[in-house]
Chains A and B, each alone.
Chain A
Amino acid sequence: MSAAPLDVLEIRRDFPILNRPLETGRHRKGLLPAFLDSAASAQKPHCVIDREREVEEQFYANAYRGVYYFGARVDEELEASRAAIGRFVGAAPEEVVFTSGTTMSLNLIARAWGGKFLQPGDEVLITDMEHHANIVPWQMICAERGATLKWLPLTDDLRLDLDQLDAYLTPRTKLVAVTGMSNVLGTINPVAEIAKRVHAAGALFAVDAAQSVPHLPVHMRSFGIDFLAFSGHKLFGPSGVGVFCAREDLLRSMSPFLGGGHMIDRVWKDHSTWAEPPAKFEAGTIPIVQAIALHAAIDYVTGLGLNRIHATEEALLRYAHEKLTTIPGLTIHGPAMEHKGAICSFTIDGASAEDLASLLDVQGVFVRHGHHCTMPLHDRLGIAASVRASFAFYNTREEVDRLVNGLHFALDRIHSRS
């Protein structure tokens, strides 16, 4: 039985940016922004913004270095945040590493694990729907180590072709890296099921959870995920902070990633030894204020409840699909609704994505256009670019209506009908 949807109008009061009427532009002045780009980055509630300010106003200091009161406070708050993140994703606090974002986390896995353990002839398997952050680091490390990068294809209805997975898992496969949810198609991948099959083939399993963490529960231990990467800024937290999680034994076995302060145990002139994880992977000064405020974001999301968030988004997605498909020539690129999260990437015959997004902007409707950092996926779809409207729990049916009406306005302008 699905959970009760959230009171969206109530929740929107928590997000200052959603309540400020736009100040420029003839068509949108005085209107509230219809922010439909949360998949790129999400808006922040008061409690996150306030928490950042609180840290900087009350007890800011560098982390893990000072014995004085501020330093001790910062350390305590960081460890509390680390533990909260661990509870949120089913990992122990020592398995949670603060990074600058999903991209850095994925690069970390590729370099610190791949750089040490990939041998010539080994295989890394990713998929046709991946974001560049879960492609390029693998291309780079495979080229360096003489390993082969392989791509699991998609079915006609734009899900992973899991019937072919066993054929792609060979004795040489050392790691499989998959997105938890496609940032373009919205496709939700059955990561627990994939993990089982990957482990049966003797490989490790990494999940790019940038899109999935804000929308779906994840539990590393019970799902069987070896490496997890996600970003604070997509989880209604600050930009500049992200998370990398891995099983403790893996963290111990990996090389460090960045070298410098805090990640060392002892430095001599001819060599250095490393600190225990997670410090081993947190060289220099981590994004302190942001890492502490991420705790506030997680508390906010768990306070609402992921089940209720999912129910709310599902209802809105249904409405969006219904309305968008009334526009002639519009194609939504993605699987059937039961297999996707609240993302609608679409093209309209005879209109370029760039024109549509520009003319929507003029009306205060904010969407993204382009290839959304998924060029191979767009090649697979056979389109140069798409428009993407992505929804979070603070979006409304009214905003969907503005999107649809806005598209009609845009099409009129493009085809010179007014």
Chain B
Amino acid sequence: MSSTSSMNLDDLIQEFDDLGDWADQCELLIDIGRDLPPFPDEFRTEENKVHGCQSNVWMVADVSESDPPRIELRADSDAMLVKGLLTIILMTYSGRTADEILSIDIQRIFQRLGLHRHLSTARKNGLAGMVKRVREIAARVRS
């Protein structure tokens, strides 16, 4: 499988389309999840946990000094599939300003990837929880 570390969102959507089958897409999600940057142990706290998820998910944000400030996100999970979903979330949101984050309709991206068809209700709730956390972070930065 081609290296996924330099993949951007458009490449990912294309590759999802090419694969077509959820089993293969699952495997791709697991692969891209492997490229999530290492997450420092000291950030795996209750405070950084994203709730509503079946597996453990942690997320932290670094806000740059620039004007407007940019939000760098870091995240991790103990489930590989979830790491893949987090990669998509980070690809979409990380490095952007608060305004940009709040104006992105990530549901369209999930639909484009067909995730709404293949993810269980529980996993969709977890995903919604992760998106909610990112948006909360952005809303706090903006205020």
Contact = CB atoms under 8 A, between A and B. Distances in A.
Interface of A: 24-28, 352-355, 358-359, 362-363, 369-370, 384-385, 413-414, 416
Contact of B55 (A25, A26, A385, A416): A385
B42 interface: no
A359 B27 CA distance: 9
Contacts of B43: none
A352 B79 contact: yes
Interface of B: 21-24, 26-27, 30-31, 34, 54-56, 77-82, 122-123
A25 B80 contact: no
Given A27-B23, A353-B55, A413 B78 contact: no
Contacts of A370: 54, 122
B31 A384 contact: no
A354 B27 contact: no
B34 A354 contact: no
Contacts of A359: 26
Contacts of A413: 27, 30
A414 B77 CA distance: 13
Interface pairs A-B: 3 shortest CB-CB: A352-B79, A362-B23, A354-B79
A355 B81 contact: yes
Interface of B is mostly: helix
B23 A414 contact: no
Given A354-B79, A416-B30, 8 more contacts: A24-B22, A26-B24, A354-B81, A355-B81, A384-B55, A413-B27, A413-B30, A414-B30
B82 A354 contact: yes
A416 B31 contact: yes
19 contacts: A25-B23, A26-B21, A27-B23, A28-B23, A352-B55, A352-B77, A353-B79, A354-B79, A354-B81, A355-B30, A362-B23, A362-B26, A363-B23, A369-B54, A384-B56, A384-B78, A413-B27, A414-B80, A416-B30
A26 B77 CA distance: 27
Contact of A358 (B21, B77, B81): B81
Nearest to B53: A354
| Most chain A C-beta atoms within 10 Å of own C-beta, residue among B23, B55, B82 | B23
Contacts of A27: 23
Contacts of A355: 30, 79-81
B122 to A, nearest CB: 8
Contacts of A369: 54
A353 B31 CA distance: 17
Nearest to A27: B23
Contacts of B30: 355, 413-414, 416
Nearest to B80: A355
A359 B23 CA distance: 8
B7 to A, nearest CB: 16
A402 B123 CA distance: 24
Contact of B23 (A26, A354, A416): A26
Contacts of B34: 416
Nearest to A28: B23
Contacts of B82: 352, 354
Nearest to B34: A416
Contact of B78 (A26, A352, A362): A352
A268 to B, nearest CB: 46
Contacts of A352: 55, 77-80, 82
Contacts of A358: 26, 81
| Most chain B C-beta atoms within 10 Å of own C-beta, residue among A27, A28, A354, A413 | A354
A381 to B, nearest CB: 16
Contacts of B22: 24-25, 362
A251 to B, nearest CB: 37
Contacts of B79: 352-355
A308 B31 CA distance: 46
Contacts of B78: 352, 384
A25 B21 contact: yes
B127 to A, nearest CB: 12
